[in-house]
């Protein structure tokens, strides 16, 4: 990836910071406002769940696929759900072809950690036969347009995809020693136990603000992402050179719980369950 600090001028940086100091944003938002989320589920017919999520002009398409494999020895009756991310060159001139870079790895790991540590997916429901066969789920995120804050957009996209899941139901055939298919489906309503949200803040100097846009990301000293369920914080990830005091982290933790509750209400994720056949 090219050096993003070189593509924004000092004049624009000063303008962004000047507005933030007045608790204003260059796109008209306040410090604690999200851009608009737009969500569509079940957009990929060949996937076992999918979503098209936009946060402002940031756009991520996510698909769910599965395979059947052996469980981990220390988790003999649990399946696996893993998140991966790809930054497509069409999404931004900042993205280049090649192996996963630091930003794509961070996106996948932060979203994965928020889902995993919240016990979002009931992995025991993914067991076909203990010690023999389990589902291995792959949640693949593809960044279609990059306009800042991939992590929060990715978190909503991954969660919407899991909620829209419709995975062929398998049962273990003892005589054949393999999986047979019932013709029914395991749905997101069965799999999804919690609705975790990852909420990201940018920091410039001593100013902290929600949902950094791309110009703000380009001048940020650093970011912090806090994943929350309705009742608790499940993970925290910091990136960049910025430091956050204990008091700032406590304040952001409390604010994240509040914002998470509002998102749960505003986005009404459970509506997508009604679309599952």
| CATH number of the domain residue 156 falls in | 3.30.230.70
Task: List Cβ neighbours of 223 (8 Å cut-off, separation of 6 or more).
Answer: 200, 201, 202, 203, 212, 217, 238, 239, 240, 242
Tell if the pTM clears 0.85, that is, is over it. Answer: yes
Report how many domains make up the chain: 1
Give 112's DSSP letter. H
Q: Which domain holds residue 146?
A: 4-275
Q: What is the pLDDT of residues 176-220, one digit of tens each?
A: 999 999 999 999 999 999 999 999 999 998 999 999 999 999 999
Q: What is the pLDDT of residues 33-54, one digit of tens each?
A: 999 999 999 999 999 999 999 9
């Amino acid at each position: 990836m090219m050096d993003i600090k070189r593509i924004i001028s000092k004049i624009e940086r000063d303008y962004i910071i000047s507005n933030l100091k007045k608790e204003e944003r260059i796109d008209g938002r306040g410090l604690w406002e999200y851009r608009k989320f737009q969500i569509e589920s079940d957009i990929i017919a060949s996937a076992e769940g999918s979503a098209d999520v936009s946060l402002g002009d940031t756009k991520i398409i996510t698909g769910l696929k599965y395979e059947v494999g052996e469980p981990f020895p220390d988790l003999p009756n649990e399946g696996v759900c893993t998140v991966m991310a790809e930054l497509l060159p069409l999404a931004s001139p900042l993205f280049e072809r090649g192996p996963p870079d630091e930003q794509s790895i961070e996106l996948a790991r932060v979203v994965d950690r928020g889902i995993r540590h919240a016990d979002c997916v009931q992995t025991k429901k993914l067991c076909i036969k203990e010690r023999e066969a389990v589902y291995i789920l792959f949640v693949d995120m593809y960044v279609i347009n990059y306009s800042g804050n991939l992590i929060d957009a990715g978190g909503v996209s991954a969660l919407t995809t899991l909620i829209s899941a419709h995975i062929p139901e398998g049962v273990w055939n003892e005589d054949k020693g393999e999986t047979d298919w019932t013709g029914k489906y395991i749905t997101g309503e069965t799999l999804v136990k919690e609705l975790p949200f990852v909420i990201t803040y940018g920091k410039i100097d001593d100013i902290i603000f929600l949902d950094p846009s791309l110009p703000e990301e380009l001048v940020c000293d650093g970011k912090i992402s806090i994943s929350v369920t309705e009742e608790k914080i499940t993970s925290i990830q910091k990136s960049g050179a910025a430091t956050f005091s204990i008091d700032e982290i406590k304040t952001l933790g409390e604010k994240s719980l509040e914002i998470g509750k509002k998102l749960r209400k505003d986005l009404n994720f459970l509506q997508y369950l009604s679309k599952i056949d």
